[in-house]
Amino acid sequence: MPVFFVPPLVKLALGALGAGAVVGWAIKEARRLNAEIARSKAVADPASRDAIPTLRRDPKSGEWRVT
């Protein structure tokens, strides 16, 4: 028999406490990532998309060309 016996209820309480800590950390990390994504979307200028050329397939040759 082990020298130090931990009752099952104490093990359950420690497991619940650890699970709560992991869930709290995951929520905080998800919020941080969402804020970072939102910040990067706000910085992107929609007007700069007009400067990017569009590629279209030429129906005769099948090659992609800038339009």
Q: Which pLDDT tens digit goes with each residue over 40-52? A: 887 766 666 677 8
pLDDT tens digits, one per residue of 4-37: 888 999 999 999 999 999 999 999 999 999 999 9
Interatomic CA distance for residues 45 and 14, integer angstroms: 49
Query: What's the chain's length in residues?
Result: 67
Q: How confident is the model at residue 44, as a pLDDT?
A: 66
Q: What is the pTM of this model?
A: 0.56
Give phi and psi for 57, each to the nearest 5. Answer: -80, 130
Local structure of residue 1 (DSSP, 8 states): -
| Residue ranges per structural domain of the chain | 8-66
The answer, yes or no, to whether residue 55 has pLDDT greater than 70, is yes
- Please, where are the H alpha helices in the chain? 8-43
Q: How confident is the model at residue 66, as a pLDDT?
A: 86
